[in-house]
Amino acid sequence: MFEYAPAPESRDVVDIKPSYGLFVNGEFVDGSGSAFKTINPASEEKLAEIAAASAADVDLAVQAARKAFTTWSAMPGAERAKYLFRIARIIQERARELAVLESLDNGKPIRESRDVDLPLVAAHFFYYAGWADKLEYAGYGTRPLGVAGQVIPWNFPLLMLAWKIAPALACGNTVVLKPAETTPLTALLFAEICQQADLPPGVVNIVTGAGETGAAVVNHPDVDKVAFTGSTEVGRLIARSVAGTGKKVTLELGGKAANIVYEDAALDQAVEGIVNGIFFNQGHVCCAGSRLLVQESIAGELLASLKRRLGTLRMGDPLDKNTDIGAINSAAQLAKIRELSDMGEQEGAERWSPACAIPDRGFWFPPTIFTGVAQSHRIAREEIFGPVLSVLTFRTPGEAVEKANNTPFGLSAGVWTEKASLMLWTADRLRAGVVWSNTFNRFDPASPFGGYKESGYGREGGRHGLEAYLR
Ligand code: NDP
């Protein structure tokens, strides 16, 4: 293998302030909780001090959203669309800055934040801007719900914000959003973009903080709709706490997707899809293809190719444009990945990683494959949320489907075959919200996304995504 010269993206495009307040009623204000710091997970360097919102701060944000709702919901859809189009265009103009900031705060490679996250974020705002004046044709009515309380995770900070805010605003709702504790910076830059777009005060409010702030948003009595993306555990807590309150809820939770490769698949293409399925964003992806189900007849050949390919992945500085695998988002997440991987070995699976240098500072985990995995192993059942692939084999399509569905989750799945009839037969039997064929982790704002079983309920994206925000 030849050496690559470093290709660092410049940090100069971002101006990180030493400290940030909450964004309430169109202004940055102090929080009354105890401030916390956000760090760069690739270096453990402190990036900024972030205000924490107490229940009283959340209350002020909800009040601001409630007040703004009166005018925002009464505004003609075509007028709301103008704001959303304006926000989408500013996101495009400031895409480089947002991408660098996202990579600094999250640890994901700049190649992904620049080429995947940011284009999708802008596309989401453009897409829902287009719906704002056409709600009567969507089939879900035209009456907004009111104030939406939205809580998002750290794996796609700005993209999850777009998934939540764009449809809510298009339908005439106002929002109070809590970003994840470890990745608040792009949401705060988004708040500045709302100011730049002259969005009326109170339509978007951003309250930073930890889990208690999230709970204060979700449990606020004047919130009409709760939208959450995150772990199944917290999703369960939320479902329990809003039961009987009349709040409308959507939950996008965990996954343990099967990526099924049949013996007639185009193998090189499948290898790329497997890599994209589990090593994209360090595997911090709810719909990651974390269980590879490969037909026994080709297992040896496929694994040999996959291992060869993993040997070419470059792990390191997220801001280097040649980096494929960035940093794990937090020490806590790294500990969880280590624990489950150690468990995989203890339970008898065989672990393999390519030789790769681990940087001295920051949180890192090499791309890892487990073979000899049994269905009962924890690494085959639990969401690891890291760059760890569990490989299982099957002999018949029936067995593939049975194994794929043998999980408490049901968010996504992949099928690799050259035979359309087999692909459709399989897709028809998979209990998953999204089934990709001969591709993986492909997103489009026009396509709905969501799960079955413990992966949650409700759909985000597409025309279906409007339903969650209309009465
Ligand atoms: P959480 O589900 O705890 O976090 C998601 C969001 O919810 C964050 O903004 C979090 O705040 C907030 N939150 C936490 N507790 C509450 C609460 N009681 N009420 C309301 N909001 C709350 O995920 P973690 O970040 O703790 O990750 C834990 C595991 O969850 C991961 O290891 C991974 O397996 C899985 N996960 C799955 C995701 C998915 O999309 N499927 C996304 C993220 C995690 P804060 O950031 O301050 O904790």
In angstroms, the CA 113 to CA 92 distance is: 13
Nearest CA to ligand 1 atom 43: 230
Provide the pLDDT confidence category of residue 1 given band limits of 50, 70 and 90: low
Q: What is the pLDDT of residues 192-233, one digit of tens each?
A: 999 999 999 999 999 999 999 999 999 999 999 999 999 999
Counting from 1 in the atom list of ligand 1, the atom nearest the Cα of 333 is 32
Q: How far is the CA of 369 from the centre of ligand 1 (A)?
A: 25
Q: How far is the CA of 232 from the centre of ligand 1 (A)?
A: 8
Residue 4 has φ and ψ, to the nearest 5°, of: -95, 145
In angstroms, the CA 153 to CA 8 distance is: 27
Nearest CA to ligand 1 atom 11: 211
Cβ of 218 closer than 6 Å to ligand 1, yes or no, is: yes
In angstroms, the CA 233 to CA 322 distance is: 36
In angstroms, the CA 350 to CA 355 distance is: 16
Nearest CA to ligand 1 atom 46: 180
In angstroms, the CA 466 to CA 470 distance is: 7
Q: How far is the CA of 216 from the centre of ligand 1 (A)?
A: 15
* The pLDDT value given to residue 149: 98
As separate numbers, helices (DSSP H) first and strands (DSSP E) second, the chain gives 16, 18
* The pLDDT value given to residue 318: 98
In angstroms, the CA 186 to CA 341 distance is: 31
Q: What domains sit in the chain, N to C, each tagged with a CATH number?
A: 11-253+452-469 (3.40.605.10), 258-437 (3.40.309.10)
Cβ-Cβ contacts under 8 Å for 241 (sequence gap 6 or more): 215, 218, 219
Q: Which amino acid is at 308?
A: R
Nearest CA to ligand 1 atom 29: 231
* The pLDDT value given to residue 97: 98
Q: What is the pLDDT of residues 390-416, one digit of tens each?
A: 999 999 999 999 999 999 999 999 999
Which of 355, 382, 383 has its CA nearest to residue 368? Answer: 355
In angstroms, the CA 335 to CA 339 distance is: 6
DSSP at 149: E
Q: How far is the CA of 151 from the centre of ligand 1 (A)?
A: 9
In angstroms, the CA 101 to CA 85 distance is: 22
Give the other-Cβ count within 10 Å of 16's Cβ.
Answer: 17
Cβ of 211 closer than 6 Å to ligand 1, yes or no, is: yes
Which of 82, 76, 230 has its CA nearest to residue 150? Answer: 230
* The pLDDT value given to residue 129: 98
Give yes or no for residue 4 having a pLDDT over 90. Answer: no
Residue to substitute in 250, 282, 385 for testing ligand 1 pocket (most ligand atoms within 8 angstroms of CB) = 385
DSSP at 210: S
For residue 225, give the 3-state DSSP assignment. Answer: strand
* The pLDDT value given to residue 229: 97
Q: What is the pLDDT of residues 319-366, one digit of tens each?
A: 999 999 999 999 999 999 999 999 999 999 999 999 988 999 999 999
In angstroms, the CA 438 to CA 262 distance is: 11
Give the mean pLDDT of 113-140: 98
In angstroms, the CA 468 to CA 150 distance is: 12
Give the mean pLDDT of 457-468: 96
Token digits for 402?
């049975």
Contact of 12 with 18, CB cutoff 8 Å: no
Cβ-Cβ contacts under 8 Å for 333 (sequence gap 6 or more): 284, 363, 385, 386
Cβ of 239 closer than 6 Å to ligand 1, yes or no, is: no
Mean pLDDT of the chain: 97
In angstroms, the CA 469 to CA 471 distance is: 7
Q: How far is the CA of 429 from the centre of ligand 1 (A)?
A: 30
Nearest CA to ligand 1 atom 35: 231
Q: What is the pLDDT of residues 299-332, one digit of tens each?
A: 999 999 999 999 999 999 999 999 999 999 999 9
Map 18-78 to HEC letters. Answer: CEECEEECCEEECCCCCCEEEEECCCCEEEEEECCCCHHHHHHHHHHHHHHHHHHHHCCHH
Map 194-231 to HEC letters. Answer: HHHCCCCCCCEEECCCCHHHHHHHHHCCCCCEEEEECC
For residue 137, give the 3-state DSSP assignment. Answer: helix
Map 355-367 to HEC letters. Answer: CCCCCCCCCCCCC
Cβ of 226 closer than 6 Å to ligand 1, yes or no, is: no
Give yes or no for residue 2 having a pLDDT over 80. Answer: no
